[in-house]
Amino acid sequence: MLNGLLLKHWFLFRYPLVTEDISDAKKMTYHGRKVIGNRVAYYFKTFETEPVLIRRFEDGTPIDAKIYNTNKNLDVENCSRNPS
C-alpha cells in the first residue's frame, strides 16, 4: 500500500534497480516511490502537457457515445498519451 491506496493492479512508469535509482532531477517528474525487493517502483508521473485519453476498440475504431449501440465483439483499449 502507498498512502492508503492498493497498488496491486497499477502500472509503473519506472522500475529501476535500487542500485540504479533515478536522478533527483527525474524524481521531480516521477512520484509514488515504493521499494519492492531490489527494485524501486514509481507509480505517478507529472506530464509537461495535459495527457490525452484514448478509448478505442482493438482494431483502432474510436469509441464514442454510440458504444452501447454497437455490434462489435472486440476488446476495448484505454490508455493515455502525452501529446508532446
Per-residue pLDDT of the chain (84 residues), as tens digits, is: 444 455 566 778 999 999 999 999 999 999 999 999 999 999 998 888 888 888 898 999 888 887 778 888 888 888 877 766
Contact 30, 47 (CB under 8 A): no
Residues 6+ apart with CB under 8 A from 58: 74, 75, 76, 77
What integer pLDDT is reported at residue 18 of this predicted model?
96
Hunting for cell 449501440 — which residue is that?
Answer: 69
Does the predicted model carry a pTM greater than 0.75? Answer: no
**Under DSSP, is residue 16 helix (H, G, I), strand (E, B) or coil?**
coil
